[in-house]
Structure 1
Amino acid sequence: MKILQPGGDKRSAADRFHAHNDALFGRRKELQARIASLRALVDADKSDVTSEAALRCAERELDDLTYEIMTANYGLVRRYVATFTSRSTGHSEDFESAGKVGLLWAISSYDPDRGPFASWAFKPIQREVLRAVRDADHPNLNLGDFEKRPIILAAKQAFLEEFGADAVLDHVDIARRAGVTTAQARRVLDPPRLDSLQASVGSQNEDIISLEERLADLSMSLEDEVLLSSQLRAMIDLGWPTLDVRERYVLTRRFGLDDMPEQSLRVIGEQIGLSREGVRQIQQKALAKLSGPIANAS
């Protein structure tokens, strides 16, 4: 009688899984070729009822096969998401949904000749899950900075262990330890914060007013003031909530809505790790979102 070595069953199961996965992708490649051939007939007006029915049948079969592949490989998503759920309580379902997007992208772009599917799928799954984690826990960081966040935090910890817990953080030193730019270290350690448009501002010796009140122009006529008030209310109640955190941040800094001097596109870009053009596009998109509610209030 043959005695199995420890771990023998596990290796055998892994081999069977890889063989099954390869067979699924082989079928998928054959189906795609068949669909491309049938679709070419349809596009060239050379198809008949039989070929059109065959195309629809093949497309349904491809959808079913893709779902089967996704189900078989879903463990890749679960294993990657598990590294975040303990630190992001309540978001695991969002992260798994994002991982599905990455998995589907990997399935659609994979060629069996490129090596094991697990290796190919890692990057797209990682990209989508990291994006979801960033949006949930650190929306003020761009994706590039968020990906560098673990090594920057590790460098910060090493800095504090060397100089003491009360030491003033040296962004240059921490950036050197982490192998990132000083600007990246500063953005991760001191991420930009966005106050609410209606948040009260001012010190103990100043009048506490809201941003809405601060935007008022006392020199306007009563009619203009009523119109502006209506537009402002529409922006706050209807338009502002439609903006994401970064869009609010850009508009707030660009137009001084936080009672600070207005900032240029270049300066804002340096704060959030984007080019001047990237910030301009965010600004235009945000203003476009606000234009609807304002127009309706006019």
Structure 2
Amino acid sequence: MDIVQPAGDGCSAADEFRTRNNALFGRRKELLERIGALRARIDANAADMLCELALRRAERELENLTHEIMVANYGLVRRYVAMFTARSTEHNEDFESAGKVGLLWAISSYDPARGPFASWAFKPIQREVLRAVRDADHPNLNLGDFEKRPAILAAEQAFLEESEPDARLDYTDIARRAGVTEAQVRRVLDAPRLDSLQAPAGTQDGDAVPWEDRLADPSLSLEDEVLRRFHLGTVVAEGLPALEPRERYVLTRRFGLDGEPEQSLRAIGEQLGLSREGVRQIQQKALTKLNEPIADAV
């Protein structure tokens, strides 16, 4: 969002933006305190219908305010995506959606007393964007190796520039230059190329079937695990209130927890202004939160 500096007031755009951001987060903190107090009254059976209505109204206000903060700070997502990725790629939409998820994490944990929000949001956005880049471009590397990949490639380039044209790679030397282990260097530089599961494989009758449709998954997905361990009523009554409003919205729409028809990731993304991958990541984080107390209770 562009911020226009008022003429003649001597206040820079950065100062004005920081002041407005702090005001937004101050309102968010007050709302969270109000919601916490209302939930405490309801949990203690000391609330009436007006209290429950006030809670729902405050939660809607919090969701709207969070959206306002996201719009105000969306420039951070674009800036950091450009910093962490190639400027022209077919996955830019997914990378920005991942950046939005990181921005949500930053918003949910930020306090103005901790310093400028842009500095606080850097790590969460970086983490989510790099994970999306790894998933899209280097799925055969674990996240730890992927994060070290730029340093390893730079060390490899430096080694080649200082060596004879036909010199063999010295993994020990490259590891020393990059400050990583030799095993990490080998995993990055000698990473096997994985064929996409979407690539069709021929069958005897000539049909082409994607490999992912021919491979059975022996493990339950996280979604199946949550639904297996809990009755729907328990999830709605005890699990959803513990989620952030946007996480609760995604799960409610995705699995029809309010009795309405289930919606696809893409349909939910259109409602929230996110890509399918962005909604999937919010869904996965919400299901993980639900699964943590489930594992302790079972």
1:136-195 deviation digits (Å, cap 9, x = unpaired): 111111111111111111111111100134321111111111111000111111113335
1:50-87 deviation digits (Å, cap 9, x = unpaired): 11111111000000000000110111110011135536
Q: Any unmatched runs of 5+ in structure 2?
A: 1-7, 219-298
Q: 1:124 to 1:91 in 2, by over 3 A?
A: same
Match of 2:213 among 218, 226, 238: 238
What residue in structure 1 maps to residue 12 of structure 2? 12
What residue in structure 1 maps to residue 44 of structure 2? 44
What residue in structure 1 maps to residue 176 of structure 2? 176
Q: 1:116 to 1:96 in 2, by over 3 A?
A: same
- With normalisation by structure 1, the TM-score equals 0.63
| 1:76 and 2:73 matched | no
Tell me: higher relative CO, structure 1 or 2? Use CA pairs within 8 A at least 6 residues apart: 2
Q: Aligned partners of 2:162 and 2:41: how far apart in 1? A: 70
1:251-278 deviation digits (Å, cap 9, x = unpaired): xxxxxxxxxxxxxxxxxxxxxxxxxxxx
Q: Aligned partners of 2:210 and 2:79: how far apart in 1? A: 43
Q: 1:92 to 1:102 in 2, by over 3 A?
A: same
What residue in structure 1 maps to residue 33 of structure 2? 33
Q: Aligned partners of 2:78 and 2:195: how far apart in 1? A: 35
Q: Aligned partners of 2:170 and 2:75: how far apart in 1? A: 41
**8 Å CA contact retained: 2:84, 2:129:** no
Aligned-residue Cα RMSD (Å) equals 3.1
What residue in structure 1 maps to residue 159 of structure 2? 159
More divergent stretch after superposition (10-19 vs 46-55): 10-19
Q: Aligned partners of 1:29 and 1:61: how far apart in 2? A: 12
Q: 1:139 to 1:88 in 2, by over 3 A?
A: farther
What residue in structure 1 maps to residue 137 of structure 2? 137
Q: 1:145 to 1:98 in 2, by over 3 A?
A: same
What residue in structure 2 maps to residue 149 of structure 1? 149
Q: Post-superposition shift, 1:11? A: 6.2
Q: 1:239 to 1:115 in 2, by over 3 A?
A: farther
Q: Aligned partners of 1:173 and 1:50: how far apart in 2? A: 69
Superposition pairs of residues 87-106 of structure 1, within 5 angstroms: 89-106=89-106
Q: Post-superposition shift, 1:238? A: 2.2
Q: Aligned partners of 1:24 and 1:235: how far apart in 2? A: 48
Q: 1:87 to 1:137 in 2, by over 3 A?
A: farther
Please state whether the residue corresponding to 2:12 is helix, strand or coil: helix
Q: 1:239 to 1:39 in 2, by over 3 A?
A: farther
How many pairs does the alignment contain? Answer: 207
Q: Aligned partners of 2:103 and 2:17: how far apart in 1? A: 17
What residue in structure 2 maps to residue 116 of structure 1? 116
Q: 1:165 to 1:61 in 2, by over 3 A?
A: farther
Q: Any unmatched runs of 5+ in structure 1?
A: 1-7, 200-209, 214-233, 244-298
- With normalisation by structure 2, the TM-score equals 0.63
Q: Aligned partners of 1:19 and 1:117: how far apart in 2? A: 11
Letter in 1 for 2:54: A
Q: 1:196 to 1:100 in 2, by over 3 A?
A: closer
Q: 1:57 to 1:104 in 2, by over 3 A?
A: same
**8 Å CA contact retained: 1:77, 1:125:** yes
Letter in 2 for 1:23: A
Q: Aligned partners of 1:237 and 1:101: how far apart in 2? A: 27
**8 Å CA contact retained: 2:35, 2:55:** yes
**Which has more radius of gyration?**
1
Q: Aligned partners of 1:161 and 1:37: how far apart in 2? A: 64
**8 Å CA contact retained: 1:88, 1:137:** no
